[in-house]
Amino acid sequence: MSGVFITFEGGDGSGKTTQIMRLASALRDIGCEPLVLREPGGTIVGEGVRDILLDPRHEGLDAVAETLLFAASRAQLSATVIRPALETGRVVICDRYADSTVAYQGYGRGLDLATVRGVNEWATRGLVPDRTILLDIDPGEGIAAAAPAEADRLEREELAVHARVRAGYLELARAEPARWVVIERDRADAVWGSVRAALAPVLERAGLRLEQ
């Protein structure tokens, strides 16, 4: 496939949205219109699944049911949107992808990691990002940044779960250093400099060079 597939991962409140907006704008400045997506969501089916997942009334949602809902949204997104876009050479930027399920449902909720990976593999038909940026943040700070007064069901989970999610992400990044780049939370400008540097090699392969 000739496109570039970039994903952003990190705890709640890690600043993914800000960095994705900067990246999209930097790409537009050089004449490239990226496809920006978010998970869960990005398709009509996926947005419906997102509403189910984030609804505070679904407090008792079973962890396996939750995993399969995330996977259903992802299957629809990867088959009908991401893959076709990559085939036509587009840059696809996704706010969360399969690694989120390993981090949150696997490490965070303690579901069997091999099973979660297998579900991901099935849902994505093996489509793996070219580069994944992990915006690493202390879970306490992240929850505070994510406006606790309006916290959705998932954001209200205890801090212990979030600490496991963070450790899980760092383990994933260590296991696959060619794909992951870990960036520590700092001022948004400094983070953007690191994001740009981390993406330069994969963008250059597609003939794209971001301006300084």
The label of the residue with tokens 């929850």 reads 143
Q: Which residue(s) pair with 4 in the sheet?
A: 91
- Asked whether position 129 contacts ligand TMP by CB under 6 A, the answer is no
Which of 5, 104, 107, 192 is close enough to bind ligand TMP by CB under 6 A?
Answer: 104
Q: Which residues contact 64 (CB under 8 A, 6 or more apart)?
A: 111
- Residue 206's SS3 state is coil
| Between 136 and 155, CB nearer to ligand TMP | 155
Which of 9, 27, 32, 96 is close enough to bind ligand TMP by CB under 6 A?
Answer: 96
Interactions with ligand TMP, residue window 43-72 (CB under 6 A): 70
Alpha-carbon distance values, 1 to 6, 81, 88, 92, 130 (Å): 14, 14, 8, 12, 11
Tokens of 113: 């990691």
Which of 100, 137, 142, 172 is close enough to bind ligand TMP by CB under 6 A?
Answer: 100
Tell the smallest beta-carbon distance from residue 186 to ligand TMP (Å).
19
Which of 128, 154, 170, 202 is close enough to bind ligand TMP by CB under 6 A?
Answer: 154
| Between 39 and 136, CB nearer to ligand TMP | 39
Q: Which residues contact 203 (CB under 8 A, 6 or more apart)?
A: 4, 91, 209, 210
- Asked whether position 12 contacts ligand TMP by CB under 6 A, the answer is yes
Instruction: Please report, as ranges, the residues that interact with ligand TMP according to CB under 6 A.
Output: 12, 39-40, 70, 96, 100-101, 104-105, 154-155
